A and B are shown apart, each in its own frame.
Chain A
Amino acid sequence: DSGVTQTPKHLITATGQRVTLRCSPRSGDLSVYWYQQSLDQGLQFLIQYYNGEERAKGNILERFSAQQFPDLHSELNLSSLELGDSALYFCASSLGPGDEQFFGPGTRLTVL
């Protein structure tokens, strides 16, 4: 158990819908990262937050947004969902930017 929690574990929805994925970092970690992993693909970095502020952006679509709240939990919002958005979405946390990242168990999103 990494100490990072993600909910829900599974999510099935339809095209055009909007979903919110939630992540709670390890106790004491200030940085949160979001990754997307499609079938047989590597980890695609989406976005990073540090202590409530956006720190770095990767290949995140405009239909996706995220935020980190004062209690340091983070949410990833995915809107106007498409079939190709079906993937595993991982959250990771670290003490600070660039430190070892600890991953949550992931949310498996299926868009039908």
Chain B
Amino acid sequence: DIVMTQSPDSLAVSLGERATINCKSSQSVLYSSNNKNYLAWHQQKPGQPPKLLIYWASIRESGVPDRFSGSGSGTDFTLTISSLQAEDVAVYYCQQYYGTPLTFGGGTKVEIK
């Protein structure tokens, strides 16, 4: 199984400041035949189901604000919120869709400082 490890477990950021979340996979999720990273980020607000933010490691889902960006390749990935807004308070999960079993990171809780 591909193990996804996120860091930090939580972070507190001032409004308007940058938040950075890291995700590491235990094996590469880069598929060589198409040069795509099978890595997604989901946002889960309190009491709600997760919501897809980013896929192919860096492609924003339709309707996702451009303050959210994803980067990385192979085994190391980052989700960046460039200017934190109050509505961004949530838990963020990375997920690999390279192969089954599909697996998630443990989540990073983002709060306002």
Asked if A pairs with B, the answer is no
Residues of B whose CB lies within 8 Å of any CB of A are none
